[in-house]
Amino acid sequence: MKRGQITLFVLIGLLLLLLSSLFFILNFDVKDNIKLYPSDKEAITAFTKSCFETSSKKAIEDFGIKGGYLFDDSYESLNVVGEKVSFYAYQGENVMPSLEYFEKVQLDQFVRYSTLNCIDSYKVFEKKGYEISITEMNITSDLSYGKFSSNLNLNLDVKLADIRENIETNFNYEIETNIFKLLTQAREVVNYFLSNENIDFSFFDDYDIEISSYSVNDYLHYEEYGDNNFIVTLSDNDYVLGFALNLK
């Protein structure tokens, strides 16, 4: 074989090697840059937001009815027609939880687990071939005068065939509510009942509220259930806060 032919074969071999390497490099870059369908990313994000907002709304709607106990049912309570009414005073002691407890233990946990239950491991997206897992989830609830807000930070690991992408979401839900005001009034009511053997209902005039032992539609409904147990319902516009008192 002539020297020129050997050189030609070497050059052809080098060229094929170069082309092969270039193909793999370009193919790797293309695969690395493939992203999820924007419409699917939007659907996943919108689905997550909907679950979170629905859960947050449910939390504040149920809060007053259940006396703030949304997630834990181990509290002392009075059974009224099959329904548990939480004691804020029990055996003559103030057992009303702090605002921080209501926010961090009850609201945070309720919104978290309710959102997770709604998401249901993103099974609705499995039929499209998606594998979605939560890598980080933080919920922060806040009750302040005139409003309730809840914030969700959620990181998702999303996989579709050979495509993998991280989706970071941050949502905030806010609604006007007088629950904070009702909790403040409830604490004052509890303290008054525990500090006074003879109840003077004129004390509640400072609240700009009405008192009735007949109608639960009044701002404050006070009704005796025997054995020094009382049911108190505070209300303001569309929100109520119900609790029980045991003055033994």
Considering its fold, how many domains does the chain have in total? 2
Both 148 and 61 in a single domain?
A: yes
pLDDT tier, 62 (very low <50, low <70, confident <90, very high otherwise): very high
- Supply the pLDDT for residue 215: 32
Strand 229-236, strand 220-224: pairing: antiparallel
pLDDT tens digits, one per residue of 117-172: 999 999 999 988 999 999 999 999 999 999 999 999 999 999 998 889 999 999 99
Three-class DSSP category at 154:
strand
Q: Which residues pair with 230 in a beta bridge?
A: 224, 245
Both 28 and 104 in a single domain?
A: no
Residue 105 inside a domain? The answer is yes
Q: Is pTM, for the whole model, over 0.85?
A: no
- Taking residue 15's Cβ as centre, other Cβ atoms within 10 Å add up to 10
Both 106 and 161 in a single domain?
A: yes
Report the alpha-carbon distance of residue 163 to residue 216 in Å, rounded.
58
Both 17 and 62 in a single domain?
A: no
Residue 117 inside a domain? The answer is yes
Both 54 and 107 in a single domain?
A: yes
Question: How does 190-203 read in b/e, with b if 16+ C-beta sit within 10 Å?
Answer: beebeeeeeeeeee
Residue 21 inside a domain? The answer is yes
Q: What percent of the chain has pLDDT over 90?
A: 49
Both 7 and 63 in a single domain?
A: no
Q: Is 187 exposed, middle or buried (0-12, 13-18, 19+ CB in 10 A)?
A: middle
Both 106 and 145 in a single domain?
A: yes
Residue 110 inside a domain? The answer is yes
Both 29 and 120 in a single domain?
A: no
| DSSP conformation letters of 95-153 | -PPPHHHIIIIIIHHHHHHHHHHHHGGGGGGGGGTEEEEEEEEEEEEEEETTEEEEEEE
Q: Find the CATH number of the domain harbouring 116.
A: 3.10.450
Both 55 and 130 in a single domain?
A: yes
Alpha carbon distances (Å) from 4 to 8, 11, 14, 115: 6, 11, 15, 74
- Average confidence (pLDDT) over 173-197: 92
**Is 216 a residue whose pLDDT tops 70?**
no
Both 17 and 49 in a single domain?
A: no
Both 109 and 48 in a single domain?
A: yes
Residue 121 inside a domain? The answer is yes
Both 29 and 48 in a single domain?
A: no
- Average confidence (pLDDT) over 203-219: 48
Name the residue range of residue 26's domain: 1-33
Give the amino acid at 214: Y
pLDDT tens digits, one per residue of 69-102: 997 777 788 777 677 888 999 988 999 999 999 9
Q: What angle do CA 186, 179, 112 make, to 5 degrees?
A: 120
Report the alpha-carbon distance of residue 209 to residue 220 in Å, rounded.
7
